[in-house]
Chains A and B, each alone.
Chain A
Amino acid sequence: DIQMTQSPPSLSASLGDKVTITCQASQNINKYIAWYQQKPGKAPRLLIRYTSILESGTPSRFSGSGSGRDYSFSISNVESEDIASYYCLQYDNLPYTFGAGTKLELK
């Protein structure tokens, strides 16, 4: 199985900050990575697929990049509604595997 090492586990940011989360795969995943946002008591919501393609309705302050084994997800100008947990998912190989998650909190 492909391991997804996500960091940091938690992040403290002020409104307007830029934050970045990284996921490193245990092998090349050919850009097949997605990023999800999850708020308490809610299902995960897909924000970005195939490394950098924003889903409909995802604000442009969210972005993704990377290749090979190394990928990143950024939020520029953090807003209060962005306070949530974020997960990466590799869907290059079965079984699909998620990162451990990053909890974004307000400083």
Chain B
Amino acid sequence: QVKLLQSGTALVKPGASVKMSCKASGYPFTDYWVSWVKQSHGKSLEWIGEVYPNSGATHFNEKFKAKATLTVDKFTSTAYMELSRLTSDDSAIYYCTRETAYWGQGTLVTVSS
């Protein structure tokens, strides 16, 4: 069955970067877009962007264009999201999804000195 396994909790300092992973299994990784979604504590969901593993093509929410970098490793069926210049506003749970239908378990990022 389709599974998306995300990397674990990250505690990072303000101004630093964090790179999280999303390992896919149970389907042809290169055939589906991988989207990333942010959920701040107790709040709603924000679509960050998506990457197409076959070509590396990306689409971004303008709000996150300068914040997030999306990449993939086709050989390990893993998608990555790197967030840069972190502030407290970036503290959240980040989900990877297969075209918003299947979701990973989420990666909690806490930005704190």
**A34 x B100 contact (CB < 8 A):** yes
User: How many B residues touch the partner, as a band?
Assistant: 10 to 19
On chain A, the number of residues with a Cβ less than 8 Å from chain B's Cβ atoms is 19
**B101 x A98 contact (CB < 8 A):** no
**B45 x A46 contact (CB < 8 A):** no
Q: Does B53 contact A (CB under 8 A)?
A: no
Give Cα A55–Cα B35 distance, bound, in whole angstroms. Answer: 19
* Residue of B61, B63, B104 contacting most chain A CB atoms (<10 Å): B61
Taken residue by residue from 82 to 107, chain B's Cβ proximity to chain A (1 for < 8 Å, 0 otherwise) reads as 00000000000001000011111110
Closest CB of chain B to A84's CB: distance in Å?
Answer: 14
**A99 x B35 contact (CB < 8 A):** no
Closest CB of chain A to B20's CB: distance in Å?
Answer: 14
Q: Which of B44, B59, B106 contacts A98 (CB 8 A)?
A: B44
**A96 x B101 contact (CB < 8 A):** no
Give Cα A34–Cα B99 distance, bound, in whole angstroms. Answer: 12
**A101 x B44 contact (CB < 8 A):** yes
Q: Which of A45, A97, A98, A100 contacts B103 (CB 8 A)?
A: A45
Q: Which of A43, A55, A91, A96 contacts B106 (CB 8 A)?
A: A43
In the complex with contacts A46-B100, A46-B101, A89-B100, A95-B62 CB distance below 8 A: yes
**A87 x B45 contact (CB < 8 A):** yes
Q: Does A44 contact B (CB under 8 A)?
A: yes
Q: What residues on A are CB-neighbors of B60 within 8 Å?
A: 95
Q: What residues on A are CB-neighbors of B101 within 8 Å?
A: 46, 49, 55
Can you list the 4 inter-chain pairs with the closest CB atoms, starting with the nearest? A95-B61, A43-B103, A96-B47, A98-B45
New A-B pairs, 14, CB < 8 Å, besides A44-B45, A98-B44: A43-B95, A43-B103, A44-B103, A45-B103, A46-B100, A46-B102, A46-B103, A94-B61, A95-B49, A95-B63, A96-B47, A96-B100, A100-B44, A101-B45
